[in-house]
Amino acid sequence: MAGQDNAAAGPARASGRLTAALEAIKAGAYVVDGQGRIVAVNSHTELLLDRVAADLLGQDAHDLLHRGPQGQLLPATQCSMRQAFHAGLPAQGHGDHFARRDGSLLPVSWLITPYAVCDGEAGTLVVFHTEHTPHPHTRPRQDPESLSELQRLALLAETTTRLTATLDVDEALRRLVDLVLPRLADWAVIDLITERDEVWRTAVVQAADGRLIPHEDLQGPMPPVPERSPMPLSRALRGVASTLAGPETYQRAPDSGIAVEQRRLFDATGIHSAAIAPIRSTREVLGALTLGRAEQPGYFTAADLTLLEDIARRAGLALDNARLYQRQRKVAETMQNHLLPQMPRVPGLEMTVRYLPAPDASQVGGDWYDAFTLSDGATALVIGDVVGHDLEAAAGMAQLRNMLRAYAWGHHEPPSRIIQRLDEAIMPITDVTMATLIFARISRTDTGHWQLTWTNAGHPPPLLVTRDGLAHYLTDGHGLLLGTGAGTTRRDATVVLPPGCTLLLYTDGLVEAPGRTLDDGLNRLRQHAAALAHRRLPSYTDHLLHRVHPPGHDDVALLALQTPLAEGPPPHQP
């Protein structure tokens, strides 16, 4: 259910993020997907080409824009930009032409670079620039400085998009290092201030022989930030200023422990020129980014420092968002873990549960399982998924779970009637908008068999696997999800469970993934569940999750039980 919401919202969020990133580029810029279709443009592109975004999006960039010097259509084999696009490598050129809306030609210099579009999908960023008033058949003159500016703007745009595309702090830091090495330096050092106001040298990475090599021996805790030290790193960690530095900067008598560590860094790396900038969020200083040149020739300049400040500013915003999201995720996971119950001990039955939170903090909160003893001695089983995410969904799940327990304990009624009562109470009593769930009761018959009676409110069906490896979904008893207000009558279904069978109740995160149909996911789960039929329950669930390998876009809750191999009479009830 949540997976369907994500499938629709994902491309829209990605397009909005791309457009926002492109607006930071003060030149024409657009992004094409792997087929060369335009997926995002900035306002400078609309102005230069005299075309609105709606006329550009979805169009093949080569067919729509690329023209020869006389305005003729260019075969792809004669278009330098198209050839560079197919090569998948950064490239630049000049003396080319784009077609404007009225048919006139815009002479352009351009730069293209690989660019992530959505969920890691490969795309290409195109940045173009002209110094001329558009006029038919004019040619641009070469301008190396403008090309350098295009490279700078392209790097900043790529920094914004790549860093904001993840909400994991460690991944954001890896991407930051990958962006600056080796194109700006051959060493990158990241010092972060922790939530306890301690400094930690989080990354020391060298670019050498086409590889990025971490130096963990140079990483670790750092001394506290001195309040008045004029040394470059100390100033950066206080958010005072960006500074150029060299080994000579730290050869004088150290004024703090941080200065000692900096001298050690310069000695160990051989850096002869460094640029250091604060990493700030809108609220506080998060750390400092240091770029160093050891093998690379030349010294950093004030212009390099300006670029580094822009990169560090974007990194600060991305890291702050990632930290906030991880805090939020931790709160949601803690809340949900406290809400998810311990399984009751049921003589003759083996039960186990698993809960896998999604990597994205926005997906934590809605999935749950439950099992509890009813007043008549039967055992209730529940698997559910509240629509929505985060703490709101976790809170709604808690409301729903507690209400269901109360109804199930207080009313000796079939599962369908219990869920009908719950559905009637959702809108006036809870904050839940919609939810899916399966509510079942399992009990021993007079002959000693285990009998399952259940009702399904819009949830993926239970999976029953026999000891012989026959697996089928229990599709009876199905009805609408909760919260629709339709007030339909719900149905029950009953099955006698065979000896040694395995019953699986699960949420849709186990079977749904972008680009894969629900039927594909259900078939995949059935095949793997059948192949593991001979295993005991704890091993069964762990191997099943490993084989199915949930895609991780949503939570996964799994409740599994196994009946004994030999049935016997029910225990004597005094």
Please give the Cα distance from 52 to 67 (Å, whole number): 19
pLDDT, tens digit, for every residue of 211-251? 999 999 999 999 999 988 999 999 999 998 899 999 999 88
Comparison of pLDDT for 328 and 163, the residue scoring more: 163
Q: Look at the alpha carbons of 340, 341, 342, 345 in this order and tell me if their dihedral is positive or negative.
A: negative
Take residue 339 and report the two structure tokens written for it.
């809400």
Element (H, E) at 406: helix 390-410
368 within 8 A of 354, measured Cβ to Cβ = no
For tokens 């404007």, name the residue. Answer: 100
Question: Model confidence at 15, in pLDDT bands (50, 70, 90)?
Answer: low
Please give the Cα distance from 274 to 231 (Å, whole number): 13
* Residue 271: strand pairing partners: none
Q: In percent, how much of the chain has pLDDT > 90?
A: 49
Please give the Cα distance from 433 to 435 (Å, whole number): 7
Question: Mean per-residue pLDDT for 335-351?
Answer: 77
Cβ atoms < 10 Å from Cβ of 494: 14
pTM: 0.51
Q: In percent, how much of the chain has pLDDT > 70?
A: 87
Take residue 225 and report the two structure tokens written for it.
């930030």
Check whether 142 has a pLDDT greater than 60.
no
Question: Model confidence at 148, in pLDDT bands (50, 70, 90)?
Answer: low
Distance of CA 405 to CAs 113, 401, 423, 503, Å?
A: 57, 6, 14, 22
Name the range with the highest mean pLDDT among 83-97, 109-123, 536-550.
Answer: 536-550
Check whether 144 has a pLDDT greater than 60.
no
* Residue 436: strand pairing partners: 385
pLDDT, tens digit, for every residue of 169-219? 999 999 999 999 998 999 999 999 998 889 999 999 999 998 999 999 999
Please give the Cα distance from 175 to 164 (Å, whole number): 10
> Is residue 134 helix, strand or coil?
coil
Q: CATH: 3.30.450.40, 1.10.8.80, 3.40.50.2300, 3.40.190.80. Which one for 169-330?
A: 3.30.450.40
CATH 3.60.40.10 domain range(s) in the chain: 340-562
Q: Which amino acid is at 191?
A: D
Q: What is the mean pLDDT of the chain?
A: 85
Please state which architecture CATH assigns to domain 340-562.
4-Layer Sandwich (3.60)
Check whether 76 has a pLDDT greater than 90.
no
Please give the Cα distance from 550 to 528 (Å, whole number): 13
Which 3-state string (H, E, C) describes 243-293?
EEECHHHHCCCCCCHHHHHHHHHHHHHCCCEEEEEEEECCCCEEEEEEEEE
Distance of CA 533 to CAs 311, 350, 495, Å?
A: 54, 14, 19
For tokens 């809750």, name the residue. Answer: 557
Check whether 358 has a pLDDT greater than 70.
no
CATH 3.30.450.40 domain range(s) in the chain: 169-330
Question: Model confidence at 5, in pLDDT bands (50, 70, 90)?
Answer: very low
Question: Model confidence at 545, in pLDDT bands (50, 70, 90)?
Answer: very high
Q: Give the E-state strand segments of 117-240 in sequence order.
A: 122-129, 187-193, 199-208, 211-214, 220-221
Which 3-state string (H, E, C) describes 156-181?
HHHHHHHHHCCCCHHHHHHHHHHHHC
pLDDT given for residue 10 in this prediction: 44
pLDDT given for residue 114 in this prediction: 79
Kindly report the CA angle at 285 between 281 and 290, in degrees rounded to 5?
Answer: 100
Question: Mean per-residue pLDDT for 373-397?
Answer: 84
Question: Mean per-residue pLDDT for 544-557?
Answer: 80
Check whether 389 has a pLDDT greater than 70.
no
b/e burial code for range 527-566 (CB count within 10 A of at least 16 → b): ebbbebbeeeeeebbeebbeebebbebbbbbbbbbbbeee
Question: Mean per-residue pLDDT for 41-51?
Answer: 89
Which 3-state string (H, E, C) describes 305-365?
HHHHHHHHHHHHHHHHHHHHHHHHHHHHHHHHHHHCCCCCCCCCCEEEEEEECCCCHHHCC
460 within 8 A of 507, measured Cβ to Cβ = yes
Q: Give the E-state strand segments of 412-462 in sequence order.
A: 435-444, 450-457
CATH 3.30.450.20 domain range(s) in the chain: 2-150
Element (H, E) at 544: helix 537-548
pLDDT given for residue 399 in this prediction: 86
92 within 8 A of 145, measured Cβ to Cβ = no
Q: Which of 455, 287, 317, 281 is nearest to 384 (CA)?
A: 455
Does a cis peptide bond (omega within 30 degrees of 0) precede residue 182? yes
Check whether 132 has a pLDDT greater than 60.
no
Please state which architecture CATH assigns to domain 2-150.
2-Layer Sandwich (3.30)
Check whether 1 has a pLDDT greater than 70.
no
Please give the Cα distance from 57 to 165 (Å, whole number): 21
Please give the Cα distance from 185 to 295 (Å, whole number): 9
DSSP state of 50: T
Comparison of pLDDT for 163 and 136, the residue scoring more: 163
Check whether 11 has a pLDDT greater than 90.
no
Question: Mean per-residue pLDDT for 5-9?
Answer: 44
Write the DSSP assignment of 523-541 as a string of letters: HHHHHHHHHTTTS-HHHHH
> Is residue 81 helix, strand or coil?
helix
Distance of CA 312 to CAs 247, 286, 289, 307, Å?
A: 22, 10, 7, 9
